[in-house]
Amino acid sequence: PPAEPLTELRQAGGVRTIVLNNPRRRNALSLPMLQSLRRDLLHDVKSRELRVIVIAAEGPVFCSGHDLKELSSEDDVKHHSQVFELCAEVMTLIQKLPVPVIAKVNGLATAAGCQLVASCDIAVASEKSQFATPGVNIGLFCSTPAVALGRSLPRKVALEMLFTGEPLSAQEALMHGLISKVVPEDKLEEETMKISQKICESSKSVLALGKATFYRQITQDLDTAYKMTTKVMVDNLTLRDGQEGIEAFVQKRKPIWSH
């Protein structure tokens, strides 16, 4: 029989769910898995109907990181570079997309799988979820996951994870800012959809502008960030939905977005 697709894409009501679908391999980010994930993220991404992307997974492991079989000495440096370069491309792509991306985590997220969670705009996790960067234990320090981790967690928390490989519980990950919410496993779908549907009530064009601006300003010094965002606020007012939102508020009615 034909092999199951490595990712499954389904979309309804403005919400696209991309499911990592290789539980037998612990949803490892092999080169084909990364290619499939990139394809699903980019699919018809400018459509007005697409408002939110949710990344979920089949099985007890959300994502175990890179497929170590691809990183053995049997493959050459060129192949190893291809794997890490594509992974970096996918992680940065998530933040460049014009819609919010939510990680829906139910299980273990390790190494590049933890990097994937840290790279998403929002992350909702079940109480049983855990997060780790255990590469140091097998002689492959999690240097690329450290980029996303170091931008999501306090430095000393990130470095403890990177130096020891010990996992954070869902509650610890929440406390340190790696994830947004922790819920019981049976409430994970409900909470993720609640956030998604709330996002769907807003203008896609306004959210796209806001997301892009957030990631631009976060790396700038305070004065530069305020100068840039002041201009963006003025630009926001020139958008049709910027004016529609203000008019609707003044007229005490629901806005009708053009997106």
Residues of the chain with CATH 1.10.12.10: 202-251
Q: Indicate the pLDDT class of residue 2, thresholds 50, 70 and 90.
A: low
- Kindly write down the DSSP assignment for every residue of the chain, as one continuous string: -PPPPSEEEEEETTEEEEEE--GGGTT---HHHHHHHHHHHHTTTT-TT--EEEEEESSSEEE--S-GGGGSTTS-HHHHHHHHHHHHHHHHHHHHSSS-EEEEE-SEEETHHHHHHHHSSEEEEETT-EEE-GGGGGT---HHHHHHHHHHS-HHHHHHHHHH-PPEEHHHHHHHTS-SEEE-GGGHHHHHHHHHHHHHTS-HHHHHHHHHHHHHHTTS-HHHHHHHHHHHHHHHHHSHHHHHHHHHHHTTS------
List pLDDT tens digits, range 216-249.
999 999 999 999 999 999 999 999 999 999 999 9
List pLDDT tens digits, range 75-104.
688 889 999 999 999 999 999 999 999 999
Q: Indicate the pLDDT class of residue 22, thresholds 50, 70 and 90.
A: very high
- Domain spanning 202-251: CATH superfamily: Lyase 2-enoyl-coa Hydratase, Chain  A, domain 2 (1.10.12.10)
The chain-wide mean pLDDT, for the chain, equals 96
Q: Indicate the pLDDT class of residue 72, thresholds 50, 70 and 90.
A: confident
pLDDT at 76: 83
pLDDT at 1: 57
pLDDT at 128: 98
Q: Which fold is adopted by the domain 7-200?
A: 2-enoyl-CoA Hydratase; Chain A, domain 1 (3.90.226)
Higher pLDDT, 185 or 70: 185
Higher pLDDT, 134 or 4: 134
Q: What is the mean pLDDT of residues 116-127?
A: 98
Residues of the chain with CATH 3.90.226.10: 7-200
**Over 80: is that where the pLDDT of 74 sits?**
no
